[in-house]
Each structure stands twice: as C-alpha cells, then as structure tokens.
Structure 1
C-alpha cells in the first residue's frame, strides 16, 4: 500500500510547476517539523530559547511585516 501511495504522490508532484513544488515542499517540512516539535522540552530549554530569540531581536536579526510580505510575494 505504501508504494502505491508513494507512486501516486510522486505522479501528482511531477505535474506541478516549480513554484507549486516549492510550496508543497515547504508544507511537508512544516508537517515533519510539527512532529518533531511535539516532544516536550524542559522549562530551562524553553527559557534558553526565549533568551536566544530576544538576543537576536536586540541585534536586529528579524524581518518586519513589510519585509516578510515582500518575501512571500516573491514566491
């Protein structure tokens, strides 16, 4: 059954243009990442990630809403 499903998915994927393929790949990455993130983390790790994110923000390592919208429109 899995091989038939893989074959069907491949056939549909090959009918897409490059932009559509990129979109599907991004969606699949999101699904896989969602599975990985379902593992609970410790409060210490959570706080560490928050500190790292705050440090990135303070260094100016972020995209504004306007920049993000421009990036999306390029897809």
Structure 2
C-alpha cells in the first residue's frame, strides 16, 4: 500500500487499511483492504469482515501466524 492509505487495525500481524481521504464521486472506495499479497484486489465492507477473512486464511494456510507479534 502507498501513502494514500492508513492502517486502521492489525490482526495476526496483517494490516487492515483504508484510504486517508476518499472521494466516492472520483471513484474512491470507502471499503477496507488487507495489506498482503494474497488479498490483493479484495475489498471489505468493514474491519470485522476483514478480520474474519484473515481468520479464515489463517485456518486454511497458516501463514498469518508468521506475522504475529
């Protein structure tokens, strides 16, 4: 992610981000993103949905554990 995004929450070491400034009329998304290659292109309606997806990913792939602090 670039400097247009802010991390709003971290779960199992993965950052959940959203745009710092979003203008929907210009096509900006108000959704949340997980800053990890396996989630590239996916958007989540809220932080809870992103956390749930990270949990599912961790159960099936076990990769999120690598990032736990």
Tell me which interval the TM-score lies in, with the shorter structure as reference length: 0.3 to 0.5
TM-score, normalisation: structure 1: 0.30
When you count helix as a share of all residues, which structure comes out higher? 1
More strand per residue: 1 or 2? 2
TM-score by length of 2: 0.32
Q: Tell which structure's C-alpha radius of gyration is larger.
A: 1
